[in-house]
Amino acid sequence: MKSKVLSAMALSCCLLGFAADAGAQITYHGGPVIVSAKVVNIFWGPSFAPGGADSGYASTLSVYRNQLGTTREYNVITQYYQIVGGVRQFIQLSNLAAGTTDWFDTTLPPTNVTDTIARNEIRAYLATHAVDSSTIYQLFLPLSSYSSVGTATSCGGPGLSFCAYHGTFNLSTGSTAVKYAVQPYESCSACQVSGWSAAQNEEHFVAYTTRVSVTDPLHTAWYDNTSGIEMDDKCLWSPPPFLDGGAYPYEWSNLAGGCVKWR
């Protein structure tokens, strides 16, 4: 299975059923990375608001985001870089919470949140916040909704193919590329680890979409030449995800030549 999906919208999904390609290195293809990243959380639905059924879930995910960029799990990707003017600029540990404020949209999203609808919700946030090229806008959906890209759907949809995805779009021609990720509620066993809480299962994919958005934001930077998949897809399920104060997948390390927990 390949993770490169779809069209000129530049989307990539964490598809189901990945295993690491033994000995296959991730290579650099000349595009940008996010050297010092930030993450804005957009929680769409009344259940995420204070007092709502998922308010604790949302709070846990924000706390997780706040510490992720300085963890040893994130440190694995600091071996990767972009080349600007002949100089290598390496990814840095960073305070992911240093961007603009998070947003709680208490309107109820539709049951089927297509990619177009997801991007329009992020556009609504950006109507009152300036786009930042180093920010990843993470859109969280409630249990009552599922995500779809074409006929492919997340948990809750009729054509289960992915658990989360990341991509880019432009607000207007020639404008800064908006980096975003869609985080459906991981309500099905295919996207869960047995015994984990709902928030832990979501943390697993927050780590995935954040790191892969940093190392390959425009799908032109770091990925596997042989299969075309991005580094986080190589290790998403095998070895099994783990807990270390939060939930994480293993990460591919060129330095180690395989999937590692941390660096």
Model confidence pLDDT, tens digit, residues 81-112: 999 999 999 999 999 999 999 999 999 999 99
CA–CA gap between residue 46 and residue 128 (Å, rounded): 20
Q: Is 55 exposed, middle or buried (0-12, 13-18, 19+ CB in 10 A)?
A: middle
Closest to 164 measured CA to CA, from 137, 191, 196:
191
Instruction: Tell me if 140 sits within 8 A of 44, measured CB to CB.
Output: yes
pLDDT at site 24 = 72
**pLDDT, mean over the chain:** 91
**Token duo for residue 233:** 């897809």
What one-letter code names the amino acid at 253?
S
| Cα Rg of the chain (Å, integer) | 17
pLDDT at site 263 = 95
Domain boundaries, the chain: 4-260
Model confidence pLDDT, tens digit, residues 161-200: 999 999 999 998 778 899 999 999 999 999 999 999 999 9
> Residue 132 — φ and ψ, nearest 5°?
-120, 125
**Token duo for residue 41:** 């959380």
Model confidence pLDDT, tens digit, residues 39-49: 999 999 999 99
| Residue 10 confidence (pLDDT) above 50 | no
Please state the rounded mean pLDDT for residues 202-221: 97
Please state the rounded mean pLDDT for residues 228-253: 94
pLDDT at site 215 = 97
Please state the rounded mean pLDDT for residues 248-260: 95
pLDDT at site 193 = 97
> Is 0.85 topped by the overall pTM?
yes
Share of the chain above pLDDT 70, in %: 91
Please state the rounded mean pLDDT for residues 232-249: 95
Please state the rounded mean pLDDT for residues 1-7: 29
Most confident of 8-17, 18-27, 84-93, 218-227: 84-93
CA–CA gap between residue 73 and residue 204 (Å, rounded): 12
> Predicted confidence band at 9 (pLDDT cuts at 50, 70, 90)?
very low
